[in-house]
């Protein structure tokens, strides 16, 4: 059986990842492709419990090192129980965030050492990398205004705009480092234009 493809959507808060994950799924299904949609952190019972620890405000503060380790603990479960089995069965996997988010949020936002993230990435993922990453990009003030409008902020969304400026810069650096894999999509344009750009970026996988 032919191994499936792995597509991830990335970006700061409020750029429309959730909406566009659904669009990507529907677009692929129209091509006759079986699709598994998932998210990070999360995707499995244990990984979703870790997600709650990461996103909820707690009386005990979470250290930066603990945050990074929890992210990769959730990812290890996610890869073993969802991503790899789905790909091996020939399904295409579409994930709302993956490891680029760790380089952006923990590496950029929290200023964690890139070498630590790289080591954990290699240990947890081995050679697993997305075949395509759609990076939805918008100015921080635009993204945060959208995020606040939907309500229900979490521990990350409560960070200052300066945090998200660092996250955005780290995302853009990832796009510069891996231009063949990461396709930059301007998310502050009309939705129809955003989705047209996404379709164009996916063409290479659909040949």
The better pLDDT of the pair 169, 143 is held by: 169
- Does 71 belong to an annotated binding site? no
Q: Is the pLDDT of residue 155 over 70?
A: no
pLDDT in tens, 172-187: 999 999 999 999 999 9
- Does 18 belong to an annotated binding site? yes
- Does 16 belong to an annotated binding site? yes
pLDDT in tens, 84-127: 999 999 999 999 999 999 999 999 999 999 999 999 999 999 99
- Does 48 belong to an annotated binding site? no
- Does 33 belong to an annotated binding site? no
Domains (range + CATH), the chain: 6-206 (3.40.50.300)
C-alpha 167/C-alpha 104 separation (Å) is: 5
- Does 176 belong to an annotated binding site? no
Label residues 61-93 b or e (16+ Cβ within 10 Å = b). eeeeeebbebbbbbbbbbbeebbbebbeeebbb
- Does 83 belong to an annotated binding site? no
pLDDT in tens, 26-81: 999 999 999 999 999 999 999 999 999 998 877 688 999 999 999 999 999 999 99
pLDDT in tens, 47-57: 999 999 998 87
């Amino acid at each position: 059986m032919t191994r499936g493809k792995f597509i991830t959507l990335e970006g700061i808060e409020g750029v429309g990842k959730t909406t566009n994950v659904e669009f990507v799924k529907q677009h692929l299904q129209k091509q006759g492709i079986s699709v598994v949609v998932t998210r990070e952190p999360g995707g499995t019972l244990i990984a979703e419990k870790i997600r709650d620890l990461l996103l909820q405000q707690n009386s005990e503060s979470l250290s930066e090192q603990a945050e990074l380790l929890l992210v990769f603990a959730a990812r290890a479960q996610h890869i073993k129980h969802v991503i790899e089995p789905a790909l091996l069965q020939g399904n295409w996997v579409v994930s709302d965030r993956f490891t680029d988010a760790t380089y952006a949020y923990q590496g950029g936002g929290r200023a964690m050492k890139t070498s630590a993230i790289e080591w954990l990435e290699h240990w947890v993922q081995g050679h697993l990398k997305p075949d395509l990453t759609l990076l939805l990009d918008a100015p921080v003030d635009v993204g945060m205004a959208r995020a606040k409008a939907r309500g229900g902020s979490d521990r990350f969304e409560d960070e200052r705009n300066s945090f998200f400026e660092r996250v955005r810069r780290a995302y853009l650096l990832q796009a510069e480092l891996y231009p063949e894999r990461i396709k930059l999509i301007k998310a502050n344009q009309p939705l129809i234009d955003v989705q047209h750009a996404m379709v164009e970026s996916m063409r290479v996988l659909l040949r």
